[in-house]
Structure 1
Amino acid sequence: MEYQFIKDPIDGFRLLISDEQANIARWLVDETGISSSAVNDLLIQVNQKTSAFTHDVEFRGKEMVMSIVDGEVAVRVNQHGVSDFEQERFDQEMLSVDTTNDLSECGLDDFVSLLQDWYLFLKDNRV
């Protein structure tokens, strides 16, 4: 997995990554916060939960959900934000919510490596 970290004076800290894995970057920046200590805490949680032989691990954020199953990480948009009324209206009007970019996946080893690099990047920039 290829990625690049950017410290932009206007947009702040960003992570550039492929379009297929854009939700991973969005989750990492928006849901975990821009703090090296928060990322370090997340690294510890991921390592503890994945080494405890748990089958499924899930981290729920405000808008996204990150899950780890069988050594694979999946980040998806939380679909619970659409009410039953809205879903019924969409169905009646034959509208749909675009879900083509709602899921990003990668291997656990790549994800942990990304977290470690993100932590070092934030730490080096004193965040």
Structure 2
Amino acid sequence: MEFDFIYNTDANRYSLKLSSEQLALQCFLLDEFEQKASAYQPLFTQLQQLKPQSQYQWDGKEYRLTVQASEVVICHYALLQEGSADTELDPEQDLELDQSQLYAECGLEDLLHLLAQWQHFLPA
């Protein structure tokens, strides 16, 4: 997974840039956490402890991160069926919404690498 980290000195703001296929992951990392390294540590620690066949779910304000067998899915709640605890997509909304910022997949190792580098880039 390719990524770039950016620090805007005028705005005193940290951001990251991922590929278009990973926009939901980019939004997840920027919108769900404070822009400091320690904010990501609980998620990073939980992900590091997962075994190859483990399942894990992290519910954020706007996104759900799900891990199954070392595959990570980031999905905006707008794509999930109303009242469903599962990560099933609603087919009607699936056609109506631009999914680029709503859904992404990656491997657990890639996400752990990205999180480690991102935490190193951010202030403590």
Q: Aligned with 2:99: secondary structure?
A: coil
Q: Structure 1 residue 25 and structure 2 residue 26: aligned?
A: yes
Q: Which has the higher helix share?
A: 1
The one-letter code matched in structure 1 to 2:43 is L
Rounded Cα–Cα distance in structure 1 between residues aligned with 2:43 and 2:120:
13
Give percent identity, aligned residues only: 28
Instruction: Please identify the structure whose Cα radius of gyration is greater.
Output: 1
2-structure distance, mates of 1:35, 1:57: 23
Residue by residue, what CA displacement relative to the aligned partner does 1:52-98 show, whole Å, maximum 9, x if unpaired?
Answer: 853x21111111111111111111111279979xxxxxx8xxxx631
Unpaired runs of at least 5, structure 1: 85-90
Structure 2 residue ranges without an equivalent (≥5): 84-91
Corresponding residue number in structure 1 for 2:86: none
Number of residue pairs aligned between Structure 1 and Structure 2? 112
Shift of the 33–81 alpha-carbon distance from structure 1 to 2, 3 Å rule, reads farther
Amino acid aligned to 1:47: Q
- 2:109: which partner in 1? 109
CA RMSD of superposed structures (Å): 2.5
TM-score, length of structure 1 as denominator length: 0.76
TM-score (norm 2): 0.77
